[in-house]
């Protein structure tokens, strides 16, 4: 942004996303990046015997229980035809303590007419019945799935991609899934088994803005190819050849995504064993370099403060829409912010890139119920912007507070569900901005040492899990004896 701030109205038209004061700044992190160019399914093995025992029975083979579900996909993109043909296998372990009589899968492409055409579906090799209504696919199990038992689901389907028509970003969030004039985006594109909690499958209905899906951590092997050899692919993992396919392997991820365009250009940089990528369109070289720089610096900083980055790649993609959105080892950055970048740190492109990178710790590593407790990830990622600025651009910290909290109203509750907010702007204020102010007051009260020890431990204790507000405050109280109840009362309607 220019030191002379552009009118906020111009940013409100673009503003979308995803998010502090004068407490002592942390030491500046010294970065030393090295620049560079640019399922197996587990099955039981029978124990064979050549003679029939008279007293000891033949041992019955037992399954090796999986720690995470395994998703294996073979997908072919017809870029011109805007279709994707997919063969998918899910090896799902019942990690609950109950016997399951059915499975619930989220099928987001089914929100569009003829968007999801299922050709075949089987469970443990046997064709099965199912119901599909909106995003909900229910598969009844003829043989119940007992605890620690695995089940294999196979399906063959075609995705007919919808045009991602954009509405008013101040009213409803931008459409990402589907195709635009310059790219195809595969987000929440494959059916997946939703989490289960307290005997219920967790699949809230979407709202006009914000996120609604919950994701269990899972292992992914995605084999992908495009019929057009000129299409460039950005993905949630590093590419490797696999005969005629390109294979991507992601461990303990939440949501595997791909973006494709024949116009993509790439900046890359190696940081230790992590490849950081910035995909962009021609003429946007300067803002694309800033996205790469911020992603690298934020990755280094957050790895020190919150714990090691969980994957081997981090990819940022210039979206052909005005929104930012996080996924596993991947985020979209708003096209509008590339347009308004002016070469300074006082810019939306800078702090939104820091925000989306922080989601790799709070959303990806530590997940939460995004529909009912959105503050758990958005609050922490918004405040991570503040931490980024105090380390790398302390001279712009006061600017960040003013520019970021452009429409902040303290007369709200932090622990509101997404659907309780009357507008997206109110949602930003209650969740992102109110959350940043809460963490600023909390940090001032308990001190930097306890505050940052808490954040690192909160991540460590909940990595790979879906956390709750109770988990947040439980870990917090393990790191301080200082009373902060008055602060909680001001921000939360529910006792904590």
Sequence spans of domains, the chain: 8-32+370-491, 69-358
Residue 449's φ and ψ, nearest 5 degrees, are -60, -50
CATH topology of domain 8-32+370-491: Neutral Protease; domain 2 (1.10.390)
| Separation in Å, CA 153 to CA 72, 89, 120, 146 | 11, 6, 11, 16
Angle, helices 375-392 vs 285-306, to 10°: value is 100
Right CATH number for 69-358 from 1.10.8.50, 3.30.530.20, 2.60.40.1730, 2.60.40.1180?
Answer: 2.60.40.1730
Farthest-apart Cα atoms in the chain, separation:
90
Lookup: tokens for 80: 């011109």
Residue 362 DSSP symbol: B
Lookup: tokens for 248: 């991507």
pLDDT given at position 322: 87
Q: How far apart are CA 438 and CA 395, in angstroms?
A: 23
pLDDT given at position 29: 41
Q: How far apart are CA 87 and CA 89, in angstroms?
A: 7
| Separation in Å, CA 478 to CA 123, 367, 384, 454, 469 | 45, 20, 22, 8, 15
What 288-295 contacts at long range (C-beta under 8 Å, 24+ apart), as own/partner pairs, is: 288/318, 288/338, 290/341, 290/343, 290/347, 290/349, 290/350, 290/353, 291/316, 291/318, 291/333, 291/349, 291/353, 292/267, 292/268, 292/316, 294/349, 294/350, 294/353, 294/354, 294/357, 294/388, 295/353, 295/357
Which residues, at least 6 apart from 30, have a Cβ–Cβ distance to it below 8 Å?
A: none
pTM: 0.87
Residue 251's φ and ψ, nearest 5 degrees, are -100, 135
Cβ count within 10 A of residue 445: 15
- Classified as helix, coil or strand, 283 is coil
Burial class, 352, CB count within 10 angstroms (exposed 0-12 / middle 13-18 / buried 19+)? buried
Question: How many alpha carbons lie under 13 Å from residue 382 in its C-beta half-sphere?
Answer: 27
pLDDT given at position 363: 98
pLDDT given at position 173: 66
Give pLDDT tens digits along the chain (496 positions): 433 333 333 433 334 333 343 333 343 343 434 333 333 333 333 333 333 444 444 443 446 779 999 999 999 999 999 999 999 999 999 999 999 999 999 999 999 999 999 999 999 999 999 999 999 999 999 999 999 999 999 999 999 999 997 766 556 667 899 999 999 999 999 999 999 999 999 999 999 899 999 999 999 999 999 999 999 999 999 999 999 999 999 999 999 999 999 999 999 999 999 999 999 999 999 999 999 999 999 999 999 999 999 999 999 999 999 889 999 999 999 999 999 999 999 999 999 999 999 999 999 999 999 999 999 999 999 999 999 999 999 999 999 999 999 889 999 999 999 999 999 999 999 999 999 999 999 999 999 999 999 999 999 999 999 999 999 999 999 999 999 999 999 999 998 8
Q: How far apart are CA 44 and CA 46, in angstroms?
A: 6
pLDDT given at position 407: 87
Helix (H) or strand (E) holding 171: none
**Topology agreement, domain 8-32+370-491 and domain 69-358:** no
**Do 316 and 277 touch, CB atoms closer than 8 A?**
yes
Edge-to-edge strands of the sheet including 178-179?
178-179, 184-186, 258-261, 232-235
């Amino acid at each position: 942004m220019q030191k002379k701030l552009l009118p906020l109205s111009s940013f409100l038209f673009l503003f979308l996303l995803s998010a502090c004061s004068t407490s002592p700044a942390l030491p500046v992190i010294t970065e030393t990046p090295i620049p560079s160019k640019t399922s197996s399914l587990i099955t039981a093995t029978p124990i064979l015997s050549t003679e029939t025992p008279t007293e000891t029975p033949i041992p019955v083979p037992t399954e090796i229980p999986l720690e995470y579900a395994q998703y294996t996909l073979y997908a072919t993109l017809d870029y011109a035809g805007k279709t994707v043909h997919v063969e998918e296998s899910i090896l799902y372990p019942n990690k609950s303590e109950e016997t399951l009589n059915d499975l619930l899968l989220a099928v987001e492409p089914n929100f569009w007419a003829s968007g999801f055409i299922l050709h075949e579906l089987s469970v443990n090799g046997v064709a099965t019945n199912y119901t599909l209504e909106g995003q909900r696919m229910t598969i009844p199990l003829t043989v119940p799935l007992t605890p620690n038992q695995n089940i294999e689901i196979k399906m063959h389907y075609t995705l007919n991609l919808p045009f991602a028509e954009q509405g008013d970003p101040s009213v409803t969030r931008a459409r990402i899934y589907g195709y635009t004039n310059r790219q195809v985006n595969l987000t929440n594109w494959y059916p997946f088994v939703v989490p289960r909690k307290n005997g219920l499958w967790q699949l809230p209905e979407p709202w006009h803005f914000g996120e609604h899906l919950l994701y269990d951590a899972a292992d992914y092997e995605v084999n992908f190819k495009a019929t057009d050899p000129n299409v460039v692919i950005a993905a949630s993992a590093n590419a490797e050849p696999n005969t005629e396919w390109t294979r991507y392997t992601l461990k303990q991820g939440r949501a595997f995504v791909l973006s494709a365009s024949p116009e993509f250009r790439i900046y890359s940089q190696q940081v230790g064993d992590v490849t950081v990528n910035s995909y962009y369109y021609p003429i946007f070289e300067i803002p694309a370099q800033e996205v790469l720089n911020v992603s690298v610096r934020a990755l280094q900083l957050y790895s020190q403060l919150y714990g090691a980055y969980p994957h081997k790649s981090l990819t940022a993609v210039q979206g052909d829409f005005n929104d930012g959105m996080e996924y596993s080892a991947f985020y979209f950055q708003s096209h509008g912010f590339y347009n308004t970048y002016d070469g300074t740190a006082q810019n939306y492109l800078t702090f939104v890139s820091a925000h989306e990178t922080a989601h790799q710790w709070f959303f990806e590593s530590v997940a939460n119920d995004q529909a009912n407790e959105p503050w758990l990830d958005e609050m922490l990622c918004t405040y991570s912007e503040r931490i980024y600025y105090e380390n790398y651009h302390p001279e712009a910290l006061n600017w960040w507070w003013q520019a970021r909290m452009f429409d902040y109203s303290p007369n709200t509750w932090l622990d509101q569900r997404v659907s309780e907010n009357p507008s997206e702007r109110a949602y930003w204020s209650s969740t992102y901005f109110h959350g940043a102010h809460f963490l600023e007051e909390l940090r001032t009260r308990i001190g930097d040492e306890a505050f940052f020890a808490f954040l690192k431990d909160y991540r460590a204790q909940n990595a790979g899990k879906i956390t709750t507000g109770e988990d947040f405050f439980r870990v917090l109280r393990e790191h301080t004896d200082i009373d902060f109840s008055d602060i909680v009362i001001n921000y939360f309607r529910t006792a904590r």
